[in-house]
Amino acid sequence: MVKIGFGSVGDSFSPASIKSYVAEFIATLLFVFAGVGSAIAYNKLTSDAALDPPGLVAVAVAHAFALFVGVSMAANISGGHLNPAVTFGLAIGGNITILTGLFYWIAQCLGSIVACFLLSFVTNGLAVPTHGVAAGQSALQGVVMEIVITFALVYTVYATAADPKKGSIGIIAPIAIGFIVGANILAAGPFSGGSMNPARSFGPAVASGNFADNWIYWVGPLIGGGLAGLIYGDVFIGAHSPVPVSDDYAA
């Protein structure tokens, strides 16, 4: 059975942990800046706020590339989560303590918020797009979509990075994680927006002052990430040592 560890204040405020929070802040900031920036840039170039097929592909590719780089740059310091749902899934699987995970959440959300305010400034006040379910879709459908695609993301994280039996496959973890995010945006973008990341949705909501439907991008991804951590941790990893387990992904 997986073991969830609450952690201690001393561990959560150790020099290594503080460096991890800074790394998560910087990497999430750069990821969101590129991801949200790609949507703003496409809207400016086309003078059309609607997400058409070329725009969907452009945004998916930008997110995939940016996440691949973000995970790679932070992996050796914080594990390169860049996503509260990933952190939560790893906590459920016993790879990071709950207390340290909460500080990861704060760093990730602050990074996203700063990125979106920076985008608003450098684009001379262009609108920062927020996530929302498509017309004709219900909130429940949006939640279920986010559960499924976030499950796929966190399951990929476990399979390529957090599984202690992963072997040499761990070297392709950032590529696989970036690819699954890009693929999921292509699949879910026209329906739920394809967030998979509460911080990615929270930053634009704060910068725009529009929190409509934002709860969907907390509930769905956290459920999906938690299920992936529970299932992969129990079924495929099984009994293992208490946190931390993976030296190159979990903090």
Phi, psi of 130 (to 5 degrees): -110, 160
The per-residue pLDDT for 169 is 72
Residue type, 145: M
Give yes or no for a contact between 55 and 42, defined as CB atoms under 8 angstroms apart.
yes
Give yes or no for a contact between 155 and 90, defined as CB atoms under 8 angstroms apart.
no
The per-residue pLDDT for 245 is 42
The per-residue pLDDT for 48 is 62
The per-residue pLDDT for 237 is 84
The per-residue pLDDT for 1 is 61
Give yes or no for a contact between 96 and 251, defined as CB atoms under 8 angstroms apart.
yes
Token pair recorded at residue 243: 């946190």
What 3 state SS string does the chain have?
CCCCCCCCHHHHCCHHHHHHHHHHHHHHHHHHHHHHHHHHHHHHHHCCCCCCHHHHHHHHHHHHHHHHHHHHHHCCCCCCCCCHHHHHHHHHCCCCCHHHHHHHHHHHHHHHHHHHHHHHHHCCCCCCCCCCCCCCCCHHHHHHHHHHHHHHHHHHHHHHHHCCCCHHHHHHHHHHHHHHHHHHHHHHCCCCCCCCCHHHHHHHHHHHCCCCCCCHHHHHHHHHHHHHHHHHHHHHHCCCCCCCCCCCCCC
CA-closest candidate to residue 196, choices 93, 65, 64: 64
How far apart, in whole angstroms, are the C-alpha atoms of residue 196 and residue 174?
16
The per-residue pLDDT for 50 is 65
**Sequence-separated (6 or more) residues with CB below 8 Å from residue 14:** none
**Taking the model in full, what pTM does it have?**
0.92
**Along the chain (251 residues), what's the average pLDDT of each consecutive run of 10 residues?**
80 95 98 97 80 90 98 96 97 94 98 98 96 96 98 96 80 94 97 98 98 97 97 77 47 42
